[in-house]
Amino acid sequence: ATCRAAIDLLKEYPDFQFTQGEAHIYRWVEAEDPETWAEIQRFIAEGRWHVVNGMVIQPDMNLPQGESFVRQALLGKGYFWEKLGVDVRVAYCVDSFGHAGTLPQILHKCGFDYYVFMRPGPHEKDLPSQVFWWQSPDGSRILTYRIPGSYETGRLADYGPHVGQALAAMPHQLGETMCFFGVGDHGGGPTREQIEQLRMLARQREDIDLRFSHPEAYFNAIAPQAFNLPVVQDELQYHAVGCYSVNSPLKRMHRQAEGALLLAERLACLAALWADKPIPLAELNQMWWTLLFNQFHDTLGGSCIKPANDEAIMALGQVILGA
């Protein structure tokens, strides 16, 4: 429904642009709504629908092991390239509760140039700049942006202060910033009313160039000035710390599923080398999709409702049994 609403607005407003991530959501649309899928392809070709994240889902960015993050990118970016011809360069985990300090190495080596997050906020983690180079212990770095305020605006009546917050957070050496808007959370995207409000504000604010855009365009615009931005060599913590000490059955099943699937791959490779057995690649990939989907930050973090938690435990159990 969010995608259909966005398509209607793209048709109505020639200057409007839309951003959407998560390969699993695109898979659902492709399978269930061919008409919407065709429209998405058309607007991507026109340069007005933009794909971010390049992962299967927005995962929890602390609990999965490193190989899981690699597979998030391998399957997510692979899907977007195969189905839409898009090489996703912006990693985008705006709702995850925290971000491990080794992630820049993984993201950079998986072909991401940029990272967007929101949590932890300024009250939880002091950073030298809204935009910075985030660096891993091995020296890998990725240009990173922390969303000021929020990625959602609900039914906000006045966008002036929201835009002002983004402008106030802009580093002095840059001339561009990003300001996110949309109904969020749990879907909903931008509304016609929000677009009209922002277009009106753009006409009123002669001191700034307020326009609809997308994260990759922003990063490309600031790239020439980014060399002198500060470097952060640290974890991006802490938010929602209680999530990491709850729901132990789910977390245990998740770790067991990771281990079982990696072991199954190793054994399949040995069987191919030693006994000329074909590797069941399709079955293994499907189990990876199931595992990665259940790394969604609200699921693995333990903040989902009980029926969703129960379904996740059953799905992870199926991965263990299948592996």
Q: What is the structure's pLDDT at 170?
A: 97
| CB neighbour class for 32 (10 Å; exposed up to 12, middle 13-18, buried from 19) | exposed
Q: What is the structure's pLDDT at 184?
A: 76
Q: Is 76 helix (H, G, I), strand (E, B) or coil?
A: helix
The shares of helix, strand and coil residues in the chain, as percent rounded to the nearest 5, are: 50, 10, 40
Query: Which two structure tokens, joined as six digits, stand for 303?
Result: 């903040």
pLDDT of 188 > 80? The answer is no
Percent of the chain predicted with pLDDT > 90: 95
pLDDT band of residue 95 (cuts 50, 70, 90) is very high
Q: What is the structure's pLDDT at 288?
A: 98
Per the CB < 8 A criterion, the answer to whether 176 and 138 are in contact is no
Question: What mean pLDDT comes out for the span 121-128?
Answer: 97
Measured at the CA of 141, the angle between CA 295 and CA 218, to 5 degrees, comes to 85
Alpha-carbon distance of 124 to 141, in angstroms, equals 22
Q: Kindly state the helix (H) or strand (E) to which residue 288 belongs, with its residue range.
A: helix 281-293
Beta bridge partners of 90: 114
pLDDT band of residue 138 (cuts 50, 70, 90) is very high
Task: Please enumerate in sequence order all residues whose Cβ is within 8 A of that of 120, keeping only pairs 6 or more positions apart, or say none.
Answer: 98, 236, 237, 238, 239
Task: Please enumerate in sequence order all residues whose Cβ is within 8 A of that of 183, keeping only pairs 6 or more positions apart, or say none.
Answer: 152, 153, 154, 155, 189, 190, 191, 194
Query: Which two structure tokens, joined as six digits, stand for 65?
Result: 């092991």
pTM assigned to the model: 0.96
pLDDT digits (tens, 9 = 90+) for 258-302: 999 999 999 999 999 999 999 999 999 999 999 999 999 999 999
Mean pLDDT, the chain, whole residue set = 96
Q: Is 55 helix (H, G, I), strand (E, B) or coil?
A: coil
Question: What mean pLDDT comes out for the span 178-186?
Answer: 87
Q: What is the structure's pLDDT at 48?
A: 98
Give me the phi and psi of 229, to 5 degrees please: -75, 155
Alpha-carbon distance of 293 to 297, in angstroms, equals 10
pLDDT band of residue 109 (cuts 50, 70, 90) is very high
Q: What is the structure's pLDDT at 126?
A: 97
pLDDT digits (tens, 9 = 90+) for 17-57: 999 999 999 999 999 999 999 999 999 999 999 999 999 99
Beta bridge partners of 19: 50
pLDDT of 186 > 80? The answer is no
DSSP symbols for 130-143: SEEEEE-TTS-EEE
pLDDT of 156 > 90? The answer is no
Per the CB < 8 A criterion, the answer to whether 295 and 305 are in contact is no
